[in-house]
Structure 1
């Protein structure tokens, strides 16, 4: 039973007489477990709902509406999705490599297909019972985002330290047969699931197309906090190049046979290999952007669009005059993205502006962690001392917003943005994730 705590005025539910305090017992003859059931069962144009009214009476109401039209109901916490946690102990798990003493939320390992459907989180499907998997099939939960890593049953069990991890291809085939589509993720570990094993995995996933939509390849991330964990090694330049070259023929086959590249290495592979980022159309609409596939290309494309819009006088933004006084901005970022940002700022900085890009080494997690989003306030303060700032002549620091948690107020080491700005000798500006944000920041907007 789920209690209604709000009815939107003028909505379908409002027009059919539902009120705050009513409770929903079932929809379409089925009990409601959670938000997933509610969304699926409220989608048709005719919805039969069994209610318990505020006076205790039971009543069946039939709601007639447009297919897909929201009912306009808000429920109590009984409808909320409490995240299901991971039952694996993957050899590459980043959370297992976190130092102690950080905020609790950073240690939560979610592995919940419902969040995969609603938010695009990647899930292994190892903690999904047969009954629950049947619900996925009935609800046509599509698209899902599946952490594959390998289709070799024995190897997947070993990599995940879970004896139930080996039936993945069976389940993916059942998803395909039910008309459910899915994106795949492969965390590639050198000497483990790369090379011929990777090609076999990609080939078996391709056999499930068009249900299998894409596969993102992400290099394993290793921190300095791996005491007692399985021995793994990171990718280096040669290894990254070998991977890119090793899948090139497979990608070409997919383009010819499926009309899609299908296997998309993350930006980090191109940065490690010192290879150019592919053109925008290669990314096919960026279906794997959350895996870092195409972030750098998207940033550049958005900056190009921002410049075109400014030159045409759109968005109410008139072209700015060149800086009348010498000005120097400092951008701090991770080691991977620094060369790309240097190139972008040379292209898009307005006349009169000097931009210095500083690659900050990650001492907190270890030097093999090179992405900007895992840098800490402590590393920034340590590697951007006053003497360096004076030598550069910088007057403002730009930081990418990905260094802060979702609320925008705290770094991974729990240093608050307020503390950082108080201790840092220059004004600090946080830049949003889009190319428009960076383009505007270079112009003092």
Structure 2
């Protein structure tokens, strides 16, 4: 069952006055196990919704509606399916010692529901028989799968879970059920790179349309999970991986009309190369997972420059991580020329996770505060909206309102692409 947390104003649930705390047990005689079941079964035009009060009293609602209209029920959060692997490069293990950050940041999820709904990468190692049945029944496609290696022994060595060696059979099973996969390889030096990477690429490519894409991402280690002997890729190792990606891309472009295999921006930056432009990433379907973020930001700014009005005399500072620093500086120059504003950038080093973590979305509030204090006078400060959660908290529990209070009389705002805020000034 699920319990109602709230209902959307003006929705069917609001019209029925369904209260918070009410349990939804069944829809059309199908048990409702979680929010995904609610999404799936409420799509029918005729519904019989069985509910239960905390007192145990039950009510049956019979509803007729357009098939595409949701009920408007916001369920309480589902219990997350935990990860059963022991990857040494796990980013959750890269968090500071437990209790330094809020509890949800220490949850290792490996939940196929979140993979379908939000693009989280999963390993397929904790699926029960009923999970497989549900994936096929509800057509949970595409799924995002952390493959890492198609060699059973190599993958077992990385995930430390006996079930991880079944990756080939698991992908075959998904393909037989017509479930499409976005695959990912986190590339670790002297583990799954070199010839191992080339074999993994070839194995996944020969599976045809069942593997919609493959992303190659360099391993990222924080100051807290740099295990003995663990290291990040050297520039030459990144360039070798990029050669393997380029080779399969050339073949995919010829045979399938799109690149299929994509190296993350960080792979290029660690190789000492300029990341590719938007055309490389085709439809940018993987941008939310950090693949193509630089080109996406560049495209957004370029496409909206003409919408900006003059801002002469306005002093703007943009805070970002060290990986995005050069790109943001170039874009700031274009904005300054277009608007007449004085636009500067600060690339802040991450003091929570260490200097090897370079993305803006993982900068804590304390680093934003320090960066702005050292930025000199400004009228408007912008930073990546990805650094905040839904409650407007940074990773270190500094709130947006606290950061803003440190700079009275000045605007400090989250931004998705700089232009979204500047166009409103």
Q: TM-score, normalised by structure 2?
A: 0.85
Once the two structures are superposed, the pairs formed by residues 24-63 of structure 1 within 5 Å of their partners are: 26-27=26-27, 30-43=30-43, 49=48, 51=50
1:329 equivalent among 306, 312, 316: 316
* 1:382-397 correspondence to structure 2 within 5 Å: 382=370, 385-386=373-374, 389-390=375-376, 394-397=378-381
CA contact (8 A) 1:329 1:394 kept: yes
Distance 1:74 1:322 in 2: 44
Give the equivalent residue in structure 1 for 2:412.
429
Tell me the equivalent position of 2:111: 112
- Distance (whole Å) between structure 1 residues aligned to residue 8 and residue 272 of structure 2: 55
Q: Residue by residue, what CA displacement relative to the aligned partner does 1:258-278 show, whole Å, maximum 9, x if unpaired?
A: 222111111112222333332
**SS of corresponding position for 2:121:** coil
Alpha-carbon RMSD across the aligned residues, in angstroms, is 3.4
Aligned counterpart in structure 2 of residue 257 of structure 1, from 255, 265, 272: 255
Out of 350, 353, 357, the residue aligned to residue 365 of structure 1 is 353
1:320 to 309, 321, 329: 309
Distance 1:398 1:71, change over 3 A: closer
| SS state at 1:164 partner | helix
**Could you list the per-position Cα deviations for residues 240-273 of structure 1 after superposition, in whole angstroms to 9, with x for gaps in the alignment?**
2222123211111111122221111111122223
Alignment of 1:189-204 (within 5 A): 189-204=188-203
Instruction: Please tell me whether the aligned partners of residues 397 and 426 of structure 1 are also in contact (alpha carbons under 8 angstroms).
Output: no
Would the alpha carbon gap of residues 394 and 172 (structure 1) be closer, same or farther in structure 2, given more than 3 Å must change?
A: same
The equivalent of 2:297 in structure 1 is: 299
The 3 A distance-change label for structure 1 pair 53 and 360 is: closer
Post-superposition CA distance 1:254-306 (Å, at most 9, x none): 11122221111111122223333323232221111122111111111111221
Give me the TM-score of the superposition, normalised by structure 1.
0.81
Q: What is the CA distance between 1:124 and its match in structure 2? A: 1.2
Provide Cα deviations, 1:310-348, integer angstroms capped at 9, x if missing partner: 2xxxxxxxx63461x4x5433221111111111111223
Mean Cα displacement is larger for which, 344-353 or 99-108?
A: 344-353
For residue 128 of structure 1, report the CA deviation from its aligned partner: 0.8
Alignment partner, residue 179 of structure 1: 178
Q: In structure 2, do the counterparts of structure 1 residues 159 and 354 end up closer, same or farther at CA, with 3 Å as the change threshold?
A: same
- 1:19-78 alpha-carbon deviations (Å, 9 max, x no partner): 95998665566433333334334445666x4857999799897x7766x4346263865x
Q: Secondary structure at the match of 1:406?
A: coil
Name the structure 2 match of 1:316: none
Contact 1:122 1:145 in 2 (8 A): yes
Does residue 1:215 correspond to 2:199, yes or no? no
- Paired residue total: 417
Change in Cα spacing, 1:436 to 1:163, as seen in structure 2 (3 Å) is same
C-alpha contact 2:309 2:339 (8 A) present in aligned 1: no
Q: 1:60 to 1:347 in 2, by over 3 A?
A: closer
What residue is the counterpart of 2:90 in the other structure? 93
Among 211, 229, 232, the residue aligned to 2:230: 232
Q: Deviations over 1:204-258 (max 9, x none)?
A: 222223121111222111111136x353211243332222123211111111122
- Deviations 1:118-174 (CA, angstroms, capped at 9, x unpaired): 222221111111232122122221111112111211111121111111112211111
Larger radius of gyration: 1
Contact 1:216 1:291 in 2 (8 A): no
Measure the CA separation in 2 of the matches of 1:3 and 1:338: 45
1:86 Cα deviation after fit: 1.0
Which shifted more, 198-207 or 25-34? 25-34
Distance 1:216 1:328 in 2: 39
1:399 aligns with one of 356, 359, 383? 383
- For the Cα contact (< 8 Å) 1:91–1:161, is it kept in 2? no
CA distance, structure 1, for counterparts of residue 350 and residue 153 of structure 2: 35
Aligned mates of 2:301, 2:292 — CA distance in 1: 14
What stretches of structure 2 of length at least 5 have no aligned partner?
A: none
Q: Kindly indicate whether the alpha-carbon contact (under 8 Å) linking 2:50 and 2:60 is maintained by their aligned counterparts in 1.
A: yes
* 1:314 equivalent in structure 2: none
Q: Report the secondary structure of 1:255's partner residue.
A: helix
Cross-structure match for 2:403:
420
Change (3 A) 1:135 1:397: closer
Contact 1:90–1:160 (8 Å) recurs in 2: yes
> Which position in structure 2 is the counterpart of 1:315?
none
